[in-house]
Amino acid sequence: MSEADAHWEKIEKLAEAETFRIVDYTPYATGDDFRPLHDYMEEYFRPIFAEKMAMLLLLVAYRYSDSVIYVEGTDWFYKQFPGLERDLNVRHFEPEKLVSYIRKIIADDIGVAFLVYVPGNNCLIRITGGFSTEIYADDEEFLNLLDALAKQQGLFIRELSKNDW
């Protein structure tokens, strides 16, 4: 089994967890009353969210030297970014290139996943477009760092169960 295959196996297992965390603009759950604001934010704040998430993800990736970064996309997406493929760990890519992937995935909400996996802490951050960011982790140190980095960006970490999602 290749290293990438081993990572993907662990990533898939983490993503099966019943509870996970999300990165959000609010520290509380929102309901249907929030819909007009959500729609407005979808249109005008997604690029801002992309910049904030790019900073957060880069800080996590550079903090944990064993972190790996994968971009799970479609053929169309890989054609937009030549040299990129599913099993390629892009952790060593220049920050500018990584940020360009994050911007594209979040701002355009194109159904591609950007994953930061930290094997030593068994933690995963997965961005799947728009405001959808999931965190699978139980490591207290990792979660505390992530919470501090999110707050620094004006964001919040909230725990959910798959039933809430």
Per-residue confidence (pLDDT) for residue 26, from 0 to 100:
83
The reported pLDDT for the residue numbered 73 is: 87
Q: How far from chain centre, in Å, is Cα 13? A: 16
Q: What is the pLDDT of residue 16?
A: 93
pLDDT score recorded for residue 131: 87
pLDDT given for residue 87 in this prediction: 92
Neighbours of 126 (CB within 10 A): 20
Alpha-helix residue ranges (DSSP H) falling in the chain: 3-14, 35-44, 46-63, 75-80, 95-108, 140-152
- In which residue ranges of the chain is pLDDT below 50? none
Nearest to 50 by CA among 118, 117, 113, 127: 127
Question: Which structural domain range is residue 134 located in?
Answer: 3-161
Q: How many domains does the chain have?
A: 1
pLDDT for the residue numbered 165: 62
What is the rounded distance in angstroms from the CA atom of residue 161 to the CA atom of residue 67? 25
Q: Which tokens go with 25? A: 């603009």
pLDDT at 30: 80
